Structure 1
Amino acid sequence: MSNSIFQAKEFYDFLTGKAYTAISRRLHKNFREAGIDITSEQWSILYSLWEEEGLTQQELATRTFREKTAITRLINNLERSQLVIRVVDKADRRTNLIYLTKAGRSLKEKCLAQANKTLAEALIHVKDDHVRIAKDTLKTVYENLS
């Protein structure tokens, strides 16, 4: 295998899961240790709703880069945990709007603290200029493919 093919494979493997999986697992661990009973996937839904409530399931799917069927399952679980509620859209009765409950809103600060802790753990030995370069590179990769 040529060196360039190996480097491309290594880069592709890293981008497609290793870093994401490691951060996701650590975030889930930090949530558990803080007594927060949500998954990292549920966190992405809650985070989107903390930014803007009353989103449709399709809007949540787009914002979190997930399939609509996965969003349905995540919302079902968040609804069972009484963190979100579905409200029928008055303008389109076929559509549900997703809102946080009081319990869902109250998790925000505690969750953000754990997310910041996780990010600090992930970046502990990474120089600021390397973070900036990685961010710029990943943004460019995303824009190239969007």
Structure 2
Amino acid sequence: MDFEKENSAGYLVNHMARLFAKKLQQRIAPLGIVVGQFPILLELWVKDGVTQKDLLGKIDVEQATLANTLNRMERDGLIKRTKNPSDARAQLIWLTRKAAALRNSAYEAAMSVNADALQVLNEAERAQFMNAMRLIIKNMRSV
């Protein structure tokens, strides 16, 4: 069996994701955040005060990766953790004022990267591309 990376969805998606991450990192570095923190921040900007388990269910990373990233974010003053009043074993993760203040600038950086990347597609192609990605993500989560 011949494997051609140019015809592999997994290879192409991974390559594209690395390019997106590289461009995003360039844009968010001045804000003092890194690409690995971005999915966590996106979730917390929508709903603050969640558990680590809640985050795991949203961003699809390994538990150890999330724990390490949260430790760095706490060290860097982006999050704080408090005891969960309804579960003594869990902690709630909260944005600090510093992280909350970065939201609009970070959103602008991400939208700029997206616009640059997708400018080669017309509006209908962009919509089709986005819908296809959502469908594939939903499928991959259920397989």
State if a TM-score over 0.5 links the two structures. Answer: yes
Q: Which residue of 1 aligns with 2:130?
A: 135
> Which of 6, 28, 32 is matched with 1:31 structurally?
28
CA distance in 2, matches of 1:44, 1:144: 20
Bigger mean CA offset, 121-130 vs 49-58? 121-130
Task: State the number of aligned residues.
Answer: 141
* Mapping for residues 1-146 of structure 1, pairs under 5 Å: 6=4, 9-15=7-13, 17-32=14-29, 35-145=30-140, 146=142
CA distance in 1, matches of 2:115, 2:7: 28
- Give ranges in structure 2 of 5+ residues lacking alignment: none
Residue-by-residue CA offset, 1:30-85 (whole Å, 9 max, x unaligned) = 112xx211111101111100000111111111111111111111111110111100
CA distance in 2, matches of 1:69, 1:13: 25
Describe the SS at the equivalent of 2:93. Answer: strand
- Give ranges in structure 1 of 5+ residues lacking alignment: none
Alignment TM-score, normalising by the size of structure 1: 0.88
Alignment TM-score, normalising by the size of structure 2: 0.90
* Aligned partner letter, 1:141: I
* Aligned partner letter, 1:20: A
